[in-house]
């Protein structure tokens, strides 16, 4: 007898044999499969529990209309309908996990649908592109487990074994998910803290102080996906508050650096009415891969952080732009906000020399006059919350303590 229900995302026009195989494995594992056909063009193959026609209609289009669309437009249409269908079944408690099997296009469509589901809900994607660098865009802020098929999706002993592993994995995960729903919910407040290696002293001190007060802490590494995950969990109110120490992803957003987050960075905690302490941590640099800094920036100041990362010192104009951007986003918050500014430096790099693009020393990283442009801009534009300037370096223990004390005050509001 089946005890869990698994949604199977496939394109039946090209992957009907894979759909049938993975559904059979799920049945053997004691799960019920629920096949959703996400084909991007009409066909006459059978076997879907939810047809492509139904998905297209959920998006406000039609099965016939897909035939005249370019692939990108058809994919967008089906994603819209697929998200509605999948979330409706989730909300009604009719599915306990989801598994997708497809190539590059299928992976794009299916992962877009999976990312709309909450964290910890079982999600597995079986695809040959799981082993490519594009996986960071497929997974993004979510917790999708990627299973590489090794070869393209043609049924053989190897791909069948991969599908078996994935099907049994999602079945086991679904049973754990179902069991977790019956347990008493942990009511310990979970606090989001954005982190970076060069702010470790500040992050660790804040974490230690909060844990001593019986808070549970979740770190989000500010490398793009980390910021997306923070916003996702904050927006879902999985977090009770945020100490956003590392807002550096926003300068990468401005300059199109490698650690850029989604466009909703610094918005979801405010939308969810959560208390926020916001710090301009590590905003003094944009991150580039070594050898890949755009030519237009080659006259700037740099520091090579390691063999892979080149840091570009933020200039005055960018500091002003960033201060205005952060103020604009925080002004829309519905919860309490305090911006804490350490006037003696925004990262550990204040002890370093700057270099030209060829690695020759040309100056110093500590540039108070440059950083002041950020402070002036955010103070001029912020209308919701307050700005507090502290005559400290960001990694000073006293600064971390001040952030915690301010956060505790905001929690009372």
Percentage of the chain lying above the pLDDT 70 cut:
100
Residue 74 clears pLDDT 80, i.e. is over it:
yes
The predicted structure's pLDDT at residue 151: 87
Return the ∠ at Cα 313 (arms to 311 and 319), rounded to 5°: 130
CA 38 – CA 343 distance, rounded (Å): 53
Q: Which CATH class is domain 4-182?
A: alpha beta
CA 127 – CA 146 distance, rounded (Å): 7
Check for a shared fold between 4-182 and 190-411: yes
Q: Give 201-229 pLDDT, tens digit per residue.
A: 999 999 999 999 999 999 999 999 899 99
Query: CB neighbours of 55 closer than 8 A, spacing ≥ 6?
Result: 36, 37, 38, 78, 81, 82, 85
Q: Tell me what the pLDDT averaged over the chain comes to.
A: 95
Q: Give 46-66 pLDDT, tens digit per residue.
A: 999 999 999 999 999 998 998
Burial class (CB in 10 A: 0-12, 13-18, 19+), 90: middle
Residue boundaries of the structural domains of the chain: 4-182, 190-411
**pLDDT band with cut points at 50, 70 and 90 for residue 262:** confident
**At which residue do the structure tokens 């869990």 appear?**
4
Q: Give 75-133 pLDDT, tens digit per residue.
A: 999 999 999 999 999 999 999 999 999 999 999 999 999 999 999 999 999 999 988 77
Positions of E strands within 42-122: 97-101
Q: Give 294-348 pLDDT, tens digit per residue.
A: 999 999 999 999 999 999 999 999 999 999 999 999 999 999 999 999 999 999 9
For residue 39, give the nearest of 14, 4, 7 by alpha carbon: 14
Helix (H, G, I), strand (E, B) or coil at 296: helix
CA 119 – CA 103 distance, rounded (Å): 24
- Edge-first strand order for the sheet with 353-355 is 285-289, 309-313, 302-304, 353-355, 361-364
Q: Which fold has domain 190-411?
A: Rossmann fold (3.40.50)
CA 86 – CA 84 distance, rounded (Å): 6
CA 407 – CA 279 distance, rounded (Å): 12
The predicted structure's pLDDT at residue 2: 66
Residue 137 vs residue 352, higher pLDDT? 352
Residue 246 per-residue DSSP state: B
CA 99 – CA 170 distance, rounded (Å): 7
CA 116 – CA 388 distance, rounded (Å): 37
The predicted structure's pLDDT at residue 233: 94
């Amino acid at each position: 007898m089946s005890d869990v229900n698994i949604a199977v995302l496939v394109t039946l026009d090209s992957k009907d044999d894979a759909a049938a195989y993975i559904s059979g494995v799920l049945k053997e594992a004691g799960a019920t499969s629920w096949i959703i056909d996400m084909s991007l063009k009409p066909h006459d193959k059978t076997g879907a529990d939810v047809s492509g026609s139904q998905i297209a209609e959920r998006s406000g289009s039609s099965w016939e209309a897909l035939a005249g669309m370019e692939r990108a437009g058809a994919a967008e249409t089906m994603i819209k309908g697929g998200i509605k269908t999948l979330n409706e079944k989730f909300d009604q408690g009719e599915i306990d996990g989801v598994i997708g099997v497809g190539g590059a296009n299928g992976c794009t469509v299916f992962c877009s649908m999976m990312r709309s589901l909450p964290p910890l809900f079982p999600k597995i994607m079986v695809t040959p592109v799981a082993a490519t660098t594009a996986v960071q865009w497929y997974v993004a802020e979510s917790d999708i487990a990627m299973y590489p098929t090794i070869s393209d999706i043609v049924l053989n002993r190897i791909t069948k074994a991969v599908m078996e592993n994935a099907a049994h994995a999602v079945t086991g995960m679904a049973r754990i998910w179902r069991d977790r729903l019956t347990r008493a919910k942990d009511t310990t407040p979970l606090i989001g803290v954005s982190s970076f290696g060069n702010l470790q002293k500040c992050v660790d001190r804040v974490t230690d102080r909060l844990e001593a007060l019986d808070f549970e802490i979740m770190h989000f590494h500010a490398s793009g996906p980390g910021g997306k995950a923070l916003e996702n969990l904050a927006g879902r109110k999985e977090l009770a508050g945020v100490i956003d120490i590392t807002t550096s992803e926003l300068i990468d957003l401005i300059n199109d650096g490698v650690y850029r987050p989604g466009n909703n960075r610094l918005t979801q905690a405010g939308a969810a009415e959560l208390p926020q302490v916001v710090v301009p941590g590590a905003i003094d640099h944009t991150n580039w891969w070594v050898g890949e800094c755009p030519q237009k920036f080659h006259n700037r100041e740099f520091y090579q952080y390691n063999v892979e990362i080149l840091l570009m010192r933020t200039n005055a104009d960018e500091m002003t732009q960033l201060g205005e951007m952060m103020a604009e986003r925080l002004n829309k918050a519905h919860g309490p906000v305090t911006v804490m500014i350490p006037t003696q430096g925004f990262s550990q790099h204040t002890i370093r020399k700057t270099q030209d693009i060829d690695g020759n020393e040309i100056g110093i990283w500590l540039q108070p006059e440059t950083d002041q442009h950020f402070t002036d801009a955010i103070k001029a534009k912020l209308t919701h919350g307050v700005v507090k300037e502290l005559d400290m370096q960001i990694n000073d223990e006293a600064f971390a303590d001040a952030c915690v004390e301010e956060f505790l005050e905001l929690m009372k509001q």
